[in-house]
Amino acid sequence: MKAVRLHAKWDPRSGFKLGPKDVEGKLTWLGSKVWRYPEIKVEEVPEPKIEKPTEIIIKVRACGICGSDVHMAQTDEEGYILYPGLTGFPVTLGHEFSGVVVEAGPEAINRRTNKRFEIGEPVCAEEMLWCGHCRPCAEGFPNHCENLNELGFNVDGAFAEYIKVDAKYAWSLKELEGKYEGDKLFLAGSLVEPTSVAYNAVIVRGGGIRPGDNVVILGGGPIGLAAVAILKHAGAANVILSEPSEPRRNLGKELGADYVIDPTKEDFVEAVLDYTGGMGAKLFLEATGVPQIVWPQIEEVIWRSRGINSTVVIVARADAKIPLTGEVFQVRRAQIFGSQGHSGHGTFPRVISLMASGMDMTKIISKVVSLEEIPEYIKKLQTDKSLVKVTMLNE
């Protein structure tokens, strides 16, 4: 079968030392410190086969390009990839996917029925392959699994015709049937994973909001836009999106943003204070990936606003220092949370139910392409901010 594969050279930066979970020449938890000269190719690879009784084979129908796919293929001036996290190359990219079960092991249990998966079940899946037995997993924090593997990062992903996953990572999309017809069901299903990243950030890690609270989303990429939709559904009085791209600001309005800010032309701080009557926001989501630029502005809003108890959630991955002023958070009784991943705490089923109830995230899909076009669009997304989500659709 055909698959989109990323190759890169293992060439650690000067002074880099392998961590306890790194594997020389194969795997690291600090990708931007090790991998150099990435290259994406469409290649022929063997079709996956069931090896364990709990596994399923999924015929991939849709798979979206994530910012992490872009950053694994994008480099700095020295040729090192920009993505800072867990990586092991070569690997088949793609982790935001949905499809149909075409084969199921005898112990592959469907949570929807508590019985073995039936052939033809529409599904999506988590990309974080948590072990379930380490200390973080046992305490209910699978996103921080000590034995983590990730689809499309160090385990073959879904820019392919078929993918194999353990059934414990799969979630049925039956609830979307009748609400989304034909290909749109699978396009929606491919957005469950990135929408769950946003849900985990603003609801699980950030603690959610009370209806009537104000929120500010910095960054109108797929995660930021999903957060706009989720928080408006959660009852936010004012959802404010800061994003320099006009197409992305317009999508934010479609998904529920009450106000949008172009930070390249407007004073972010004055705009937020104005839109909130000087009260500021209960929750800020940092989804830009450039915290060194936006953090001083967040702090100034917190400092100058009349409200207290703000929460700032960091969801964008960035190898950059945050210029934090502790005094601001002490005096204004504010707090910071880091957010990674999407698993646990019922994120996937709740996001699927939100989609079934009318939260249509397919609005963020800018273009549908073929598998062969994925390398071209991974490169294009490095600079073209008029595109939000580019999604592969297989017949």
Burial of 26 (0-12, 13-18, 19+ CB in 10 A): exposed
Instruction: State how far Cα 287 lies from the chain centre.
Output: 10
Going by the DSSP 8-state scheme, the letter that residue 13 receives in this structure is P
Other Cβ atoms within 10 Å of 309 Cβ, number: 11
Q: Give catalytic residues, as residue numbers.
A: 68, 71
**In angstroms, what CA-CA distances link 45 with 29, 91, 95, 143, 163?**
26, 11, 17, 29, 11
Q: What is the largest CA-CA distance in the chain?
A: 60
Other Cβ atoms within 10 Å of 20 Cβ, number: 6
Instruction: State how far Cα 388 lies from the chain centre.
Output: 13
Nearest to 218 by CA among 262, 175, 165: 262
Across the strands, what pairs with 180? 177
Task: Supply 248's token pair.
Answer: 């992305």
Scored b (16 or more CB within 10 A) or e, 214-223 reads: bbbbbbbbbb
The answer to whether 394 touches 68, Cβ cutoff 8 Å, is no
34 residue type, one letter: V
CB neighbours of 139 closer than 8 A, spacing ≥ 6?
none
Instruction: State how far Cα 219 lies from the chain centre.
Output: 13
Going by the DSSP 8-state scheme, the letter that residue 254 receives in this structure is H
The answer to whether 377 touches 370, Cβ cutoff 8 Å, is no
What is the DSSP code string of 307-370? ----EEEE-S--SS-----HHHHHHTT-EEEE-----STTHHHHHHHHHHTT--GGGGEEEEE-
